[in-house]
Amino acid sequence: MLNIDLTGKRAFVAGIADDHGYGWSICKALAAAGASVSVGTWPPVLGLFSKSLERDKLDLELPGGGKMKIEKVYPLDAAFDTPEDVPPEIRDDKRYKELTNYSISEVAAAWAAEHGPQSVDILVHSLANGPEVKKPLLETSRKGYLAAVSASAYSMVSLVQRFGPLMRPGGAVVSLTYMASERVIPGYGGGMSSAKAALESDTRVLAFEAGRKYGVRVNTISAGPLASRAAKAIGTIELMIDYYKKNSALPENNTAADVGNTAAFLCSALGQGISGTTVYVDKGYHSMGMEPNALAGAAQ
């Protein structure tokens, strides 16, 4: 039997704030396959997430039995590459004031101090934020647009810059993208479509550069919509999910496990020939060019 075996592998998943969404499902899939999982959490929600984890209020149940164990939770604000990038108003904010080492370079340095060189096998980018996501692109400010690209796309480049030297040859990097990178999705604004397009382009370039320099693979998963807490910020997520179900090749809702399992595959030896690729996990929606019932409706 061909199994996904990540025993002895160590993973860092950036962008985990709760037990909803694709990032959490990826954590569970990696853990179920035997990997040791640590996460990076946005400082404003770090306290709540850590308390929920300590009090066993998160969904830690693994498929096949047992519970996931998070090796460590790191504070991480991927909008900042170094501590010098943090503006005074953020540094002095009550949610940040008691924290240190939450920029990307500091988290990487903390990891290296704890685990040593070449100690990362899997790096997952589950980060996206667009402060003006509800605004049409025509109404998006420069500040909002750049913030979306910074948090949702450049953060991936920065993570690979800092964690790449810590990764073992044969390791894997995976991120999460969305169909808005290549098609118009009304309501998904604020520059987020541009950020996802940049993320996919960067995936191809990083697959080459990090592949040659560190011997790691870089891929991204284009997932269908999911009603996670983060996605609900869009405001139309339920309508999007219903539309996908009606118009996908497989008329089903996407599940978090679908994406988690695909990520585990890409990070395993079974996916060692795949790099620089956008893998669609959307029940075949991306392949459709017309609504399935369009012709039937026209014939009536």
Catalytic residue among 96, 145, 188, 214: 188
In this predicted structure, the answer to whether residue 106 has a pLDDT above a threshold of 50 is yes
| Arithmetic mean of pLDDT, 188-212 | 98
- In angstroms, what CA-CA distances link 216 with 33, 86, 160, 184, 288? 19, 30, 10, 32, 33
Residue 175 domain-assigned (yes or no): yes
State residue 89 phi and psi, 5-degree precision. -65, -25
Question: Are the C-beta atoms of 48 and 79 separated by less than 8 Å?
Answer: no
Q: Are 199 and 220 in contact (CB under 8 A)?
A: yes
Question: What percentage of the chain has pLDDT greater than the value 70?
Answer: 94
Q: What is the pTM of this model?
A: 0.94
Over 70: is that where the pLDDT of 227 sits?
Answer: no
Distance of CA 43 to the CA centre of its chain: 17
Does 229 or 179 have the greater pLDDT score? 179
CA distance 110 to 129: 25
Range of the structural domain that residue 166 is part of: 10-285
What count of other Cβ atoms lies within 10 Å of the Cβ of residue 276?
15
Of 178, 214, 244, 285, the active-site residue reads 178
Query: Is position 300 within any domain?
Result: no
Considering only 98-102, 236-240, 288-292, which range has the smallest mean pLDDT?
236-240
Please confirm, yes or no, whether 154 is among the known catalytic residues. Answer: no
As a whole number, mean pLDDT of residues 101-128 equals: 97
Average predicted confidence (pLDDT) for the chain: 93
d(CA 76, CA 44) in angstroms, rounded, equals 10
pLDDT(19) > 70: yes
**Is residue 15 in some structural domain?**
yes
In a domain? residue 79: yes
Which stretch of DSSP H or E encloses residue 120? Answer: strand 120-125
How sure is the predictor about 232, in pLDDT bands with cuts at 50, 70 and 90? low
Looking at the predicted structure, is the pLDDT value of residue 297 above 70?
no
The token pair at 144 is 């909002």
Confidence of residue 190 (pLDDT cuts 50, 70, 90): very high
Residue 161: φ, ψ to 5°: -55, -45
Q: At 131, which amino acid appears? A: P
DSSP output for 140-189: --HHHHHHHHIIIIIHHHHHHHHHGGGEEEEEEEEEEE-GGGTS--TT--
Annotation says 280 is catalytic: no
- Under 8 Å between Cβ of 69 and 31: yes
pLDDT at 77 over 50: yes
- The three-state (H, E, C) secondary structure of 207-229, written as one string: HHHHHHHHCCEEEEEEECCCCCC
Q: Are 197 and 182 in contact (CB under 8 A)?
A: yes
Q: What CATH number corresponds to the domain at position 87?
A: 3.40.50.720
With respect to residue 76, please indicate whether it lies within any of the assigned structural domains. Answer: yes
Residue 226 has pLDDT above 80, yes or no: no
Residue 207 inside a domain? The answer is yes
Cβ count within 10 A of residue 16: 28
Each residue's pLDDT tens digit, 23-65: 999 999 999 999 999 999 999 999 999 999 999 999 999 988 8
Nearest to 156 by CA among 109, 111, 121, 124: 124
Structural domain contains residue 293: no
**296 located within any domain:** no
Tokens of 172: 């894997």
Confidence of residue 300 (pLDDT cuts 50, 70, 90): very low
pLDDT tens string 245-268: 888 989 988 899 999 999 999 999
For residue 296, the model assigns a pLDDT of: 60
- Split into its structural domains, the chain has a count of 1
Residue 234: pLDDT above 90? no
